[in-house]
Structure 1
Amino acid sequence: MDQFQIDINKIATNLIEKNIEKVTKGIYDFSSAKRKDLLLKSKNAFDLYLSSAIDKYSSTKTILYRDQRVPLYKFYVDVNLRYQFETINTDNINNLLELSNNITIFGSGGMGKSTLLKHLFLNTILNTDLIPLFVELRDLNDAEITLIDCIYKSLSNLKFNLEKEYFVKALHNGCFVIFLDGFDEVNEEKRRKLTMEIDLMVDKYSENYYIVSSRPGDFLYRGWNKFIDLHVIPLDKQSALSLIEKMDYDNDIKEKFLLELNDNLYKKHQSFCSNPLLLNIMLLTYHEFAEIPDKVHIFYGRAFDALYSQHDATKAGFKRKLMTIENLAIDDFKRVLSAISALSYMEKTYSFDQDQLFYYINSAKQIVDIEFDSNRFKTDLIESVCILVIDGLKYKYQHRSFQEYFTARFISNLPDEEQTSLLLHIIEEEGESIKFDEVFNLLFEMANEKFERNLIIPALEKLKEIIKDSSLELSYLKYMETSFDEFFFDPALLVQEKLSKEAEAIAYSYKENKSGFIDFVQFIYNKYCDLLDIKLPKLETIIEPDNIDSLHEFGEDDEYSQSTRVPLNKVTCDEQLFNDFIGFSKFYLQRLEYSFLVLDQRKPEL
């Protein structure tokens, strides 16, 4: 145990001592003698939990520190968060808690959200009188349990031994900061239920603080009414330099890298250097590859090559031999790993128990038609190449970005018809992934023309057929109905976005069985707006409303959220309401028409 852990454990013990009367207030209705025993039992339960949690969250493995866990603060650099137009420093948890009891933290893959939450967990012990609880939401994927059950299980797994009924009662007393990490890692079909449970929990136990981390996604896209949204700000140059300086790495390589990072690398490759994960990969591959590629998929490919060929290179005189090297050359190893990644990705599995992992390895073996020892391959994934890490009784990717990279690699190598079928399935059945992860972005980079030919063209042609109707406006309605089931006035947006009028505060509710066509169309616009000489159609005949009178007339008021809602299947009941709906939807419709212009231009060239 290092000095930091010794010190923070002492502080944690004092924290529990200070809080135990408040934590247990009203939960024990017994005689004074028995209550004294239960107070001691409660104190010991929280002491054991915090001690175990500190041990778990104050050290970790990373892509650079692959062989053993290292103290978090050996490499951690504070990141800043954006709240509206303000910058929030995360060096002290109170900077966040002063803003709201309920916070969502958004950041794309590799921005260090989980590491940030671990820092905030530890910082809560150091700088507040509150007790932090850390929950990895992906545990909800393993069983049909409630959020409260998941929280209690997370504590119990770290030696918390107080009965559940007493813990639940303690939540009423408002002594906790509850960190809910990885909303985006919860299976899509469970997110709606989880959203409702979080909403109910912050109402029922409103004296606590709640901090949820996630990649941006549909269920969080417009935010939750009771939460404020914070966004991870990419690393600036000084923070990037500080991160590398803290790394325990070959000094000669690190010093050369720091010089280049300061002189030109940050300016030339800011999108890579401002992302902590990608910056780590840059250092990992710097010695072997003279230049930094412009494309992310080449970047990840080189990172794996470095892990494969240089594993344990940071240990002088030692290089572990891959156990499957007699059977699998590096290309075959990649093929197997790509199949494992694609299979698990399509099943929305981001961590595995041992049986699941062997299931995916053996299934991949059949797909690539190569014989090798599955147990040895599993050992190589964990101990040699370190693409997977052990987390309790689970195995998970070093970072989900690697699962997405190898999934894209697998899909890019499929025959044309199989690729088209699989990608259309993702759009129609798993559409949220277009916005949630990097698979489509990587595919667009890897094989642009093949991706256009096998997906963009057929998907847009299919969308044209799906929304075809007797009038353009009815086609537009059909398009919006592919993803949404209602539109509504959201008063929370007036405050959050500092909007000047009600007509600007219009939002849409996603259907439970939505397709991903609207996200796909936005993807096309994002990719081609700088590549092709096509202007975003103005659609001047569509008038954006300056009031929401028709919503008030035909919508239903939701007293709980103070919103006014209209189901999309009712917008044709009144001409003014229908025209207003089309006007409110102009943002989406402009991008739809833009995508059809892309289709007209690209199809003859392929």
Structure 2
Amino acid sequence: MEANLELKDIITIASPIIKSFVDNIITPKLDILRKKLEKKGKLKSFSQIPFEKYFSEYYHRSFKKMSIINTLTFNNSQKLLDDIYIPLTIRNSHNYKEIYKIKEFPKALSNEYWNILITDTAGMGKSTLMKKMFLSALNSNNGIPLFIELRRLSKNKSILEELKEQLNSVNNSINDDILFELLNDGEFIIMLDGYDEISLNDKDIVTSDIQNFISKTSKNKYFITSRPEKSLASFGNFQEFRITSLTKKEAFELLRKYDNRGTISTLLIKKLQESDLSNINEFLTNPLLVSLLFTAFEYKNAIPFKKHLFYRQVYDANFESHDLTKGDSYIHNKYSKLEIDDFHRVLRHIGFMSLKDQKIEYTKDELLKFIDDSKNFCTGLSFNNSDFLNDLLKTVPLFSQDGNYYRWTHKSLQEYFAAQFIYLDAKSRQENILKKLYKSPNLEKYINVLDLYYDMDFKTFRNIIIYDLAKEYNEYVKNNYIQKYNDVDPEDIILRKELLFLRKFYLFKGEKEVPDEKLDEILNKIESIENVNGFHIDSIFVESPVSENYFGILMDHSKLNLLDLLFQKNNIIIKKISATEADIPNPMLDKNLQNYLPLELNDDSSNILNSKENFNILNQFIKYFMLPSYIVSNTEIIKVYEEIENSVKIENNIDGILDEL
């Protein structure tokens, strides 16, 4: 059956599934609640709310919304999720042997861990995964799924208000107390998608609201998706999983799904199999980049080897797209009458300014304001703001409309145009902008922008950001671990510098089962000191590899996000940590050491952790504790620092010569 016919029939397909779900799951649950409320004398207010009707309408809307996805690969046209979904694999962040392949709702996983956090970088399929799980839960009666897009929450809109709006968008007849009564009975699977998309200005208030909501409705199962960011540490009772990279076989299968094993995917896969993939391996591990690869190849029959070129070719393909329903020769005229490069210029400004706001979804008035501001910035261009908005939705569909909201089709598009703005339009402010992004305490919010910029303008990236990192490391090694450490191998001292650059490590002794109140007391004490310096707790060793009585706390600086980026770029100044799972000896500590007293691993030679007996043991401990992670290479980063300094001197000399002309 043709895809467009299947889309028309989606409600017909959904109706018997939803009717069965409401009859067998929702109605019995509501009957139990009615009896409970009758005893409390609250039945009248409950009886006035047609919950069965609300849930039925909600699941009809949601089934259609979740089953159909818009993708840049098809010029933002609609496709059935099941037609292009390949099962993604998630892995426990703290137990790499625990993996789940998500073909349907992961019942075993949700029974093992009621609160689950799924994190990964841009384009790894977090939202698609949640939609697949939502539909599967609805089909299999594994619970009562509710889906909340967290970008909709703000200091003016709570999670409860959003949930009420989803269940009953016509009027606000649902009473808060009654809804809490319903949720308090459990059985719900509440999926909170896109924590990283909450506006930065509202993040603290919204996070507190989410935590309060989860606490009050703790009998339910929760899933949260997000890109990695430090504020996720506030969800300490969630078990974190990460989406694993696609295998080459999975990437090829995804390509085949895009044209139903047609000519384009066959030719593209053949070219990929014949090519040296060393420059493109990164793109084959990421579902979004695989889709962009397909679009770019379909447009030009060429494989771009830089990420930003992917986005440019996708933009060009969308701008110059043919309407196949009207023949290959028909190209949509643009409402704004702008040419391709001028339209790109306006989008660059919109991308950068909206990135500053840390929002990807807007009301119509908000988006028109962005368009108007960008028109004023782009001197020499004239167009109607509403025409430009129509282009964004229809002829160059990089935005999509969902009710009263307008959003970037994918967050990474916003980041691409923002990076292009810095590269092409920022001019004299370029260095200041890049430094602000790199030194931001919320660097993880901008890491994808820097990732894209790295390939656009490596020389500037190297001379500003890599140089700043290398300079900071150079200062660090000059001022740390310079004391005399008796009989400690010099190589161990260098390794310690590499391990603890931009990190803090604490060790404490305790009982086999650490009481929550004791752990909270330790963490609060450490955080009160270190947060001022930009460090945040990355992980806690609950089960120590050295002894059941010793525990570790690792704190990361936000700049460590850059190390991950540089490693993915195969930059020589970064290396991956390697460690074995073999038993690590116990550190030789004072037997009378007080329990739950955290010891900082600093460079004090008199610190017992730096003794001859303990120095190497603690290095092994930290390495094991940090897996998987990356550290700077002492030799390479110092070499690069000197190279950049020399190149800057040469350029300054050339500038001096030019000044004399």
After TM superposition, the score normalised by the length of structure 1 is 0.81
Q: Contact conserved, 1:137 with 1:183, CA < 8 A, in 2?
A: yes
Match of 1:125 in 2: 138
Change in CA separation of 1:458 and 1:437 when aligned onto 2, cut-off 3 Å: closer
Letter of the structure 2 residue corresponding to residue 506 of structure 1: G
Q: Contact conserved, 1:419 with 1:454, CA < 8 A, in 2?
A: no
- CA separation in 2, counterparts of 1:477 and 1:264? 38
Match of 1:214 in 2: 226
2:344 aligns with one of 319, 334, 345: 334
Structure 2 unaligned runs (5+)? 1-8, 484-496, 505-529, 579-583, 649-661
1:490 aligns with 2:531: no
Match of 1:232 in 2: 243
1:365 aligns with 2:378: no
1:19 aligns with 2:29: yes
Match of 2:581 in 1: none
- SS in structure 2 of the partner of residue 110 of structure 1: coil
- After TM superposition, the structure 1 = structure 2 runs for residues 481-560 of structure 1, keeping only pairs within 5 Å, are 481=530, 483-484=533-534, 490-492=540-542, 499=545, 501=547, 506-508=552-554, 516-520=558-562, 523-524=565-566, 527=569, 529=571, 531=572, 546-547=586-587
1:294 aligns with one of 295, 305, 313: 305
1:439 aligns with 2:449: yes
- CA separation in 1, counterparts of 2:458 and 2:432? 17
- After TM superposition, the structure 1 = structure 2 runs for residues 128-527 of structure 1, keeping only pairs within 5 Å, are 128-140=141-153, 142-157=154-169, 161-188=173-200, 190-220=202-232, 224-247=235-258, 251-257=262-268, 259-260=270-271, 269-313=280-324, 316=327, 318-325=330-337, 328-373=338-383, 374-414=385-425, 417-433=428-444, 437-458=447-468, 461=471, 481=530, 483-484=533-534, 490-492=540-542, 499=545, 501=547, 506-508=552-554, 516-520=558-562, 523-524=565-566, 527=569
Change in CA separation of 1:453 and 1:466 when aligned onto 2, cut-off 3 Å: same
Letter of the structure 1 residue corresponding to residue 632 of structure 2: R
Change in CA separation of 1:521 and 1:273 when aligned onto 2, cut-off 3 Å: closer
Letter of the structure 1 residue corresponding to residue 309 of structure 2: I
1:102 aligns with one of 95, 106, 115: 115
Q: Contact conserved, 2:88 with 2:243, CA < 8 A, in 1?
A: yes
The alignment yields a C-alpha RMSD, in angstroms, of 4.3
- SS in structure 2 of the partner of residue 390 of structure 1: strand
Change in CA separation of 1:184 and 1:589 when aligned onto 2, cut-off 3 Å: closer
- 1:299 deviates by 1.3
- CA separation in 1, counterparts of 2:591 and 2:104? 44
Q: Across the two proteins, how many residue pairs are aligned to each other?
A: 577
Q: Deviations over 1:201-244 (max 9, x none)?
A: 44443321101111222233x79442222222233344334433
- Which protein shows a greater Rg? 2
Q: Contact conserved, 2:191 with 2:222, CA < 8 A, in 1?
A: yes
Change in CA separation of 1:470 and 1:382 when aligned onto 2, cut-off 3 Å: same
- 1:252 deviates by 3.8
Q: Which deviates more from structure 2 when the two are superposed, residues 200-209 or residues 259-268?
A: 259-268
Letter of the structure 2 residue corresponding to residue 410 of structure 1: F
Match of 2:91 in 1: 82
- CA separation in 1, counterparts of 2:172 and 2:83? 28
- 1:61 deviates by 1.6
Q: Percent identity?
A: 23
After TM superposition, the score normalised by the length of structure 2 is 0.74
Structure 1 unaligned runs (5+)? 539-543, 558-563
Change in CA separation of 1:460 and 1:551 when aligned onto 2, cut-off 3 Å: farther
- SS in structure 2 of the partner of residue 50 of structure 1: helix
Change in CA separation of 1:301 and 1:477 when aligned onto 2, cut-off 3 Å: closer
- CA separation in 1, counterparts of 2:124 and 2:173? 34
Change in CA separation of 1:21 and 1:189 when aligned onto 2, cut-off 3 Å: same
Q: Which deviates more from structure 2 when the two are superposed, residues 518-527 or residues 418-427?
A: 518-527
Q: Deviations over 1:341-389 (max 9, x none)?
A: 0111122121111122122112222222132222211111111111111
- CA separation in 2, counterparts of 1:547 and 1:144? 52
- SS in structure 1 of the partner of residue 100 of structure 2: strand
Q: Contact conserved, 1:223 with 1:229, CA < 8 A, in 2?
A: no
- SS in structure 2 of the partner of residue 310 of structure 1: coil
- CA separation in 1, counterparts of 2:586 and 2:286? 40
- CA separation in 1, counterparts of 2:42 and 2:355? 55
Letter of the structure 1 residue corresponding to residue 132 of structure 2: H
Change in CA separation of 1:90 and 1:322 when aligned onto 2, cut-off 3 Å: same
Letter of the structure 2 residue corresponding to residue 41 of structure 1: P
Q: Contact conserved, 2:539 with 2:553, CA < 8 A, in 1?
A: yes
- 1:478 deviates by 9.2
Change in CA separation of 1:237 and 1:489 when aligned onto 2, cut-off 3 Å: closer
Q: Deviations over 1:558-583 (max 9, x none)?
A: xxxxxx76899x999x9558999997
Match of 2:489 in 1: none
Letter of the structure 2 residue corresponding to residue 230 of structure 1: F
- CA separation in 2, counterparts of 1:335 and 1:552? 67
Q: Contact conserved, 2:576 with 2:630, CA < 8 A, in 1?
A: no
Q: Deviations over 1:172-224 (max 9, x none)?
A: 1112000010111123454455555555544443321101111222233x794
- SS in structure 1 of the partner of residue 242 of structure 2: strand
Q: Contact conserved, 1:389 with 1:396, CA < 8 A, in 2?
A: yes
- CA separation in 2, counterparts of 1:153 and 1:565? 47
Change in CA separation of 1:274 and 1:590 when aligned onto 2, cut-off 3 Å: closer
1:591 aligns with one of 632, 637, 644: 632
Q: Contact conserved, 1:104 with 1:227, CA < 8 A, in 2?
A: yes
Change in CA separation of 1:118 and 1:537 when aligned onto 2, cut-off 3 Å: closer
